[in-house]
Amino acid sequence: MARSLGLMAVVIAVLLLIGPARTLVFPGSAKLPPVDYTHQVTAFKEVAGIVLAPSDLPSGWRANAATFDSGRGRAHLHIGFATPGARFAGLDESNGPAAELVRQVLGPRGARVTGTTTIAGETWELRRSQRGEQALTWTTGPLTLVVTGSASDAQLRTLAGSLR
């Protein structure tokens, strides 16, 4: 019986190393491949009529996620970035109600504005997400933008300042 249990332990260990749990053992292999988000940006602009997309981000930034959803004239764009230092920064943009996007991206805790800051001549609101991450929000015309993630404050400001 001990041999059978030992054999099962070896099989389970092998499955853990070749299955999804390998990211716990070898986290470097969990990197998402780079993503080209131009299609999602174009689709958002077709629905919303306007889009502010990241441009001229520093080297070391890599887009690794991009989604676009729309319905009833409302659009939602998400672009995620891996930043230098193995952190994450995300941009969410919508032409729907500002409070709805903020709640969807930041959770209930994000409804509270904790201050303001100026980035590229625009006043952004400071908030905290449900996970405790710093968040920047800005509403301009029909668009609401949310920049948040585990990235440093400087990196979040860099992303927000790159929007054109």
Q: For the stretch 72-95, what's the b/e string if a residue is b when 16 or more beta carbons lie within 10 angstroms of its beta carbon? A: eeebbbbbbbbbeeeebbbbbbbb
Closest by CA to 94, choosing from 25, 135, 23, 143, is 143
Instruction: Return the percentage of the chain with pLDDT > 70, whole number.
Output: 82
Could you tell me the two tokens for 136? 């920047």
- Checking if the pLDDT of 33 tops 90, the result is no
Mean pLDDT for 51-69 is: 97
Please state the φ and ψ torsions of residue 144, each to the nearest 5 degrees: -120, 135
- Checking if the pLDDT of 133 tops 90, the result is yes
Residue-level pLDDT at 27: 52
pLDDT digits (tens, 9 = 90+) for 96-113: 999 999 999 999 999 999
- Checking if the pLDDT of 19 tops 80, the result is no
Q: How confident is the model at residue 31 (pLDDT cuts 50, 70, 90)?
A: low
Closest by CA to 163, choosing from 113, 90, 86, 96, is 90
Q: How confident is the model at residue 29 (pLDDT cuts 50, 70, 90)?
A: very low
**Cα torsion through 69, 83, 126, 79, rounded to 10:** -10
- Checking if the pLDDT of 3 tops 80, the result is no
pTM (predicted TM-score): 0.82
